[in-house]
Amino acid sequence: MKDRATAVRAILAGFSSPVPVAEVAGGFNGRTTPKRLTEVGEILEMLAALGQVVEREGKFAQTCQVYAQLLQT
C-alpha cells in the first residue's frame, strides 16, 4: 500500500492544478480500468483524510499546490 500511495502522490505532483481521479489513474502505464479507477480513488481519499492531498469538487491536488494558488489570488 505504501508503494501505491507514493506512486499516486508522484503522479499527482506532475499536475499544476487539481485533477479528477481519472487523470491521476491515467498517469499509470496500461489501461485505465474500473478497478484501477477505484484503487486510485481510494488512495486519494486516504491521502486526503491524512491531509497529504486536498479534494475539492471531485478534484485532487497536493496541499502545496492549493496553498500556492491561494497566495496568487
When divided into structural domains, the chain yields a total of 1
Kindly report the CATH number assigned to the domain that includes residue 52: 1.10.10.10
Look up the domain containing 54 and give its range.
2-72
pLDDT tens per residue, range 36-73: 999 999 999 999 999 999 999 999 998 865 555 555 65
Report d(CA 57, CA 48) in Å as an integer: 13
Query: Would you state the pLDDT for residue 68?
Result: 55
DSSP, collapsed to helix, strand or coil, labels residue 62 as: strand
| Confidence at 1, pLDDT banded by 50, 70, 90 | confident
Distance CA 56, CA 70 (A): 14
Mean predicted confidence (pLDDT) in 5-33: 94
Those residues whose C-beta lies under 8 Å from the C-beta of residue 14, and which sit 6 or more positions away, are: 27
Give the pairing type, strands 19-20 and 59-62.
antiparallel
